[in-house]
Structure 1
Amino acid sequence: MTTAVKVHEDAKSRLEELQAEIRLQTGRSVTQQELLTRLIDDAYESRDEVIDSFRKSAVPLSEEEKAAMRRDRYHSGVETDESDIDDVLYG
């Protein structure tokens, strides 16, 4: 069973480019249906990344978010310089 899905012209164009690139590099012709099925299968395997890509961007922060970050900061009383950070990160 197939169902029609509307896509923007630029997405359709990129799908066609990818389809052509597959044909050029593999010598195998694939239908757009096969290609979309493969892309969906791959996206399903990494669905957390796909879902995260639709979350509201954290940058730039709103003034309220900046204020919350400043409120939650604390001073440990220890001076830290770049070499200290490098030691912690890289051993």
Structure 2
Amino acid sequence: MSTAVKVDEDAKSRLEELQAEIRLRTGRSVTQQALLTRLIDDAYESRDDVIDSFRETTVPLSAADKKSMRRGRFRSGSETSESDIDEILYG
């Protein structure tokens, strides 16, 4: 059973572009229904990433947030090993 799903023009255009690229690279024609089914199956396998994409804040940080954090960093001039960090954290 098929159900109609409304998508905006941009999404429809990108779907058609992907459909054409599949045909160009593989020599096989796929229907938009088959393509959407494959995309949904792939998204289902990585559903945590899809769910996270709808959160207001995202991890990892945005490029602007990373840049902001880097501004406060400095080099102390001494090397720190993993064992040094373990000693500081765990005694």
Equivalent residue, structure 1, for 2:56: 56
CA shift, 1:57, in A, is 2.1
CA offset digits 1:10-54 (Å, max 9, x no partner): 000000000000000000000000000000000000000000010
Q: Which runs of 4+ in 1 moved over 3 A?
A: 58-61, 82-85
For residue 22 of structure 1, what is the aligned residue in structure 2?
22
> When the two structures are superposed, what TM-score results if normalisation uses the length of structure 2?
0.66
Cα distance, 1:83 vs structure 2? 5.3
Please report the TM-score for the alignment, with normalisation by the length of structure 1.
0.66
Whole-angstrom CA distance in 1 between matches of 2:28 and 2:7: 24
1:34 partner letter: A
Deviations 1:48-72 (A, max 9, x none): 00000100125688xxxxxxxxxxx
Percent of aligned positions that are identical: 74
The AA in structure 2 aligned to 1:48 is D
Give the structure 2 partner of residue 47 of structure 1.
47
Gap regions ≥5 residues in structure 1: 62-79
Tell me how far apart the structure 2 counterparts of residues 82 and 45 of structure 1 sit (CA, whole Å): 45
Amino acid aligned to 1:81: S
RMSD, aligned CA: 2.3
Structure 1 residue 82, shift from structure 2 partner: 6.3
Count residues in correspondence: 69
Runs of 5+ unmatched residues, structure 2: 66-74, 83-91
